[in-house]
Amino acid sequence: MLKTAATFQLLCNFQLLSFESKASAYEFYHSLVRLTDNTDCYNVFLQMVHEWQHLKIVKHFGHGHEVSGIDGTSQGECVVICPACPQPGKDLHDGWALATKANCWLYATFLAIDVNFHLKRHNVLSNETDPSMSTGWSYFVEETDYKSYLAQHLGEAQEVHDPDLLSCMLLTPFHRKAHAPVTMLK
């Protein structure tokens, strides 16, 4: 069994290059291979980068030195709150909920995901072979809770209360596509 390691400096350099020059892990790793002995440790490097990113997130949110440890992190604790979106109880004045229809857009929060995503965790064979390190800690809920919720509401139609929203949904490219995949719901 091959054992390998990486310094924090190497992982910091990779993180900086990936942010600034958009270098992928594959490109960075193969640059290292050219500079060294051509040993194939790409998958090991990816595991180290994954662990490094996980530790950086935990450190950023102050969970590294808690008495309960990293495992004491609860659902949604590692979410970066959008500074541009209004947050009730933080930066909205009293009575904001009573705004007129003409001004209610001022207090809207837009929650969205860029649809140019790949769902890398979707094709994982099992959580035993490739476990997630921070399930439910940030923007996506824990999978078993999510599937349980879906099972409870199976067959229910989604309610759309705003007719303007419905007309917007009908104009989206996903609605026009005959075979728009919704593969994450199994």
Cα–Cα distances in angstroms (integers) from residue 160 to residues 38, 98, 109, 181, in the given order: 57, 21, 17, 21
Q: Contact, 71 vs 136, CB < 8 A? A: no
User: What integer pLDDT is reported at residue 183 of this predicted model?
Assistant: 42
Q: Contact, 55 vs 73, CB < 8 A? A: no
**3-class SS shares of the chain: helix, strand, coil, % to 5:** 40, 0, 60
User: What integer pLDDT is reported at residue 137 of this predicted model?
Assistant: 85
Block mean pLDDT (10 aa), the chain, length 186: 78 89 88 82 86 87 81 83 80 84 80 60 65 79 84 77 56 48 45
Measured CA to CA, the distance from residue 116 to residue 162 in angstroms comes to 26
Residues in CB range of 96: below 8 A, 6 or more apart: 86, 88, 107
User: What integer pLDDT is reported at residue 165 of this predicted model?
Assistant: 54
The per-residue DSSP string of 49-105 comes to HHHHHHHHHHHHTT-TT-TT-GGGPPTTTTPPPPTTS--TTTT--TTGGG--TTTGG
Domain boundaries, the chain: 1-60, 80-186
Residues in CB range of 142: below 8 A, 6 or more apart: 75, 135, 136
Q: How many residues does the chain have?
A: 186
User: What integer pLDDT is reported at residue 166 of this predicted model?
Assistant: 52
